[in-house]
Structure 1
Amino acid sequence: MPICEADPWRMQYFEGVDCPADVNVPTEDGDAWAWYPEFKWVYNKLDVAESQHFVCGPHGLMPPAFPVFSKPVFNMRGMGIGSRILRTEREYKANQRPGHIWTPVLTGEHISTDVAVVDGEAKWWRHTFGKPLDGGMFDYWTVLGEANPEVEAYCGDWLRENLRGYTGMVNFETIGARIIEVHLRFADQWPDLYGGRPWVEALVKLYAEGVWDYDDSDRRTGYSVVLFGGHGLQYTHPSEDLVDEVRAMDGVTSVQVTFHQDRPPSWHAMPPGGFRLAIVNCWDLETGIRAREKLALSFWSTQQLTPSRRRRTAEPA
């Protein structure tokens, strides 16, 4: 298996692709951290902010103005854990945390960008943006077919200045075309929308031979529709027959059931607003929404409340 994938629901994108035995392609930040020690500094969000000359600093230093955006300097689990806006000096002093930093509050479009990089030079770009819901959730993601010249110019310059010598995939999170996070991997949620097997073969060749060779002339916009449920519930996977039925819908490219039913819900990294149950990738948004509704009916019929943990009281003497 060429892709080192921790989530079994995403193995479907990489099965059957040939790869040299000594080639490892990371999809997890922990693997990228270990395999690229020279470049793992990009996971330090203070270093990334300072590389763009932001006014920023660790908690304990007073920002010159408010509001500021506060977040952990390292967050290897994702989902925006521990991040928030601090609007006043009083709020900042009440919420200082070890290992957290403050940066400017950026405005503009929030874009996730995957880049194929050869020796610090960008060779391929793909941009995605989400429709946000409350609580850090997204209703769906739009995987754009078109370019984003502003993001590509800014991030391309940043790559040349900061990642010379690196070859592989890079994922940027940007707001207003300014970088908030960098990952030495790609978003493994939608390889089917990037091009399926031919794209994965190009991915392997990038890591095996250090070249990017992919015909992207027929790219088009796709969608990744997300199903959330409530927290505090123990969910069961839908039947394979139902998943196959949804996957066979015209315009649907894949279905991911995005949790381990044999593990406690609290072991999953999820946004505060809800528990992510499934993702439907598709070429038509309305089809994806109908597919999500089919899956939702199955989940609602099988959910179970998880027992609450109550403090044990002493037995009477």
Structure 2
Amino acid sequence: MPVCEADPWRLQYFENVPCPADVNIPTEDCDAWIWNPRENWIYDKLCVAQSQGLDCGPHGVMPKRFPVFSKPIINLKGMGVASGAFRSLSDYERGYTPGHFWTALLTGEHVSTDCAIVKGDIRWIRHTTGTPFGDNGMFDYWTIHAADRGDLEAYIRGWAGEHLDRYTGMLNVETIGGRIIDAHLRFADQWPDLYGPGWVAALVRLYAEKRWFFPEEGERRDGYSVVLFGRHGRNHRHPSPASVAAVRAMPGISSVQITFHETKPAEDHAAPPGGFRLAIINAHDREMGFAARRLLAKAFPAEDLHVPAEDNWPVEQTAQVL
């Protein structure tokens, strides 16, 4: 197994790629922190903000101006818990929390970027943006963009070259308005199949041989990672293998992930406050991804689903089980 993967639904991407037994490739921040002691400072978000010259400080240090954004200094597993904007001094005083910090409130596009790095030099880069599902912390789908982003890439390259000059491996950064808000010594393991044939083999080579070689076949294609959400507090059950196989066989569908454990309490799954992730469908065509989601939804009781209104789902028909 070339990749140390905590989520069994993502093993499908890695289980058939040979890897030396002594090579560890992290997908979890906790593993990446342990295995990269020289670079794991980047999980300190206050340090990342300081490295870019942003206004910032731990709670207890008074901001010079408002608004600011507050969040935990280190938060490996909490998915942004207790984060939010302070728009006034009273907000700051009321929201004071030990172990948190504030930083300049950034505006602009929120982008997630995966990078392959050899001694601080970025050799491959790919950008993803999310389309929200309402204002409840959920994403309806992500777009894995084929296109470059010149200014953003130049900024990330400069930052990595200055601060990770001895690091070889994968790097994921999240940016808002072209500035880094989070950095991870790993890649996004939700859609590696959308990076193209041979990408996982290149990933293994990066960690095993400390070099990057990924001859992309043809032009890059946009990809889409579409989420099926259920409601919190329900006793969700996996769809039948036949249901999943029918969705996977649809034209343009790259993979299907059923993203929960039947035997694990729902409240023990990491999930946004607005909904419970039931499945993720990766596709190279967005409309086919939506169609696949509608088909997979029929394997779940209609009353258990969280349905995007704009997708015009036939909700009354989703109680049918494939």
Residue equivalent to 2:52? 52
Residue equivalent to 1:184? 185
> Aligned runs of 1:164-179 on 2, under 5 Å?
164-179=165-180
Residue equivalent to 2:115? 115
> Aligned runs of 1:1-317 on 2, under 5 Å?
1-133=1-133, 134-196=135-197, 198-216=198-216, 217-300=218-301, 303=304
Structure 1: unaligned runs, 5 residues or longer: 305-317
SS at match of 2:194: helix
In structure 1, what is the Cα distance between the partners aligned to 2:260 and 2:283? 20
In structure 2, what is the Cα distance between the partners aligned to 1:130 and 1:218? 22
Assess if the C-alpha contact under 8 Å between 2:230 and 2:304 holds in 1: no
In structure 2, what is the Cα distance between the partners aligned to 1:298 and 1:93? 48
SS at match of 1:103: strand
Query: Which shifted more, 292-301 or 175-184?
Result: 292-301
Superposition deviation, residue 218 in structure 1: 2.8
Assess if the C-alpha contact under 8 Å between 1:80 and 1:271 holds in 2: no
Query: Which shifted more, 72-81 or 241-250?
Result: 72-81
Superposition deviation, residue 237 in structure 1: 0.7
SS at match of 2:136: helix
Query: Which shifted more, 12-21 or 116-125?
Result: 12-21
In structure 2, what is the Cα distance between the partners aligned to 1:79 and 1:290? 29
Assess if the C-alpha contact under 8 Å between 1:81 and 1:271 holds in 2: no
Assess if the C-alpha contact under 8 Å between 1:223 and 1:284 holds in 2: yes
In structure 1, what is the Cα distance between the partners aligned to 2:21 and 2:303? 41
Query: Which shifted more, 84-93 or 42-51?
Result: 84-93
In structure 2, what is the Cα distance between the partners aligned to 1:4 and 1:54? 34
Letter in 1 for 2:119: D
Letter in 1 for 2:173: F
SS at match of 1:233: coil
In structure 2, what is the Cα distance between the partners aligned to 1:183 and 1:9? 21
Query: Which shifted more, 13-22 or 245-254?
Result: 13-22
Query: Under a length normalisation based on structure 1, what TM-score does the superposition of the two structures give?
Result: 0.93
* Identical columns (%): 58
Superposition deviation, residue 302 in structure 1: 8.8
Superposition deviation, residue 78 in structure 1: 4.9
Letter in 2 for 1:180: I
Closer, same or farther: CA 107–38 of 1 in aligned 2, 3 Å: same
In structure 1, what is the Cα distance between the partners aligned to 2:13 and 2:81? 27
In structure 1, what is the Cα distance between the partners aligned to 2:79 and 2:278? 15
Superposition deviation, residue 301 in structure 1: 5.4
In structure 1, what is the Cα distance between the partners aligned to 2:2 and 2:230? 32
Assess if the C-alpha contact under 8 Å between 2:231 and 2:304 holds in 1: no
Q: Deviations over 1:134-156 (max 9, x none)?
A: 21110100000111111110010
Q: CA RMSD in A?
A: 1.3
Query: Under a length normalisation based on structure 2, what TM-score does the superposition of the two structures give?
Result: 0.92
Superposition deviation, residue 303 in structure 1: 5.0
In structure 1, what is the Cα distance between the partners aligned to 2:30 and 2:303? 34
